[in-house]
Structure 1
Amino acid sequence: MLRTIFVIGLLAFVGLFVLKLVFGILGGLFGIFFALLGMAIPVLIIGGLIYVLMLVFAPDTAREMREKFGSN
């Protein structure tokens, strides 16, 4: 029984250490990832709007771009 209590305490200590590592040291990496994601979303939205405008006003150009860059 004493061994079980010791193992549970050790696992809790290891879990706290891992959480500290993930959110402490690697927190900067998560911050960089979310910053890049925050910059990529507006670029994606603007690119999508430009493509939709091309579909409406220049469908041949949009088709050529889809054939050139698309995988289909």
Structure 2
Amino acid sequence: MLRTLFLVGLMAMGGVFLLQVAFGLFGWFVALMLWLLGLALEIPIVGACVYFVIRIVSPSTAKRITDSFSGSPGS
């Protein structure tokens, strides 16, 4: 029982050490991936805002945009 407890503690310390090494070596890569994720989330939000403004200002243009993306045979 005591041996199992020590092994679990040793594994936890080893995991923390490996995470520290991984983020130390590949920290720039993780930062780049998080930045790209933020950009990938920001682009659709801006597009939705632009579409909302177009929908208020010119509903026919918004319908053409919707039809072009939905693939329905309009014009």
* Residue number in structure 1 paired with 2:28: 28
Partners in 2 of 1:36 and 1:26 — Cα distance?
A: 15
Partners in 1 of 2:64 and 2:39 — Cα distance?
A: 28
User: Identity of aligned pairs, percent?
Assistant: 35
* Residue number in structure 2 paired with 1:14: 14
What's the RMSD between the two structures over aligned residues? 2.8
Deviations 1:7-49 (A, max 9, x none): 13431332223321443234222211222234341x3343222
Report the TM-score when normalising by structure 1. 0.62
Report the TM-score when normalising by structure 2. 0.61
Would the alpha carbon gap of residues 13 and 49 (structure 1) be closer, same or farther in structure 2, given more than 3 Å must change?
Answer: closer
* Residue number in structure 2 paired with 1:58: 58
Residue-pair matches, total: 71
Give the SS at the match of 1:53: helix
Name stretches of at least 5 consecutive residues in structure 2 with no aligned partner. none
* Residue number in structure 1 paired with 2:44: 44
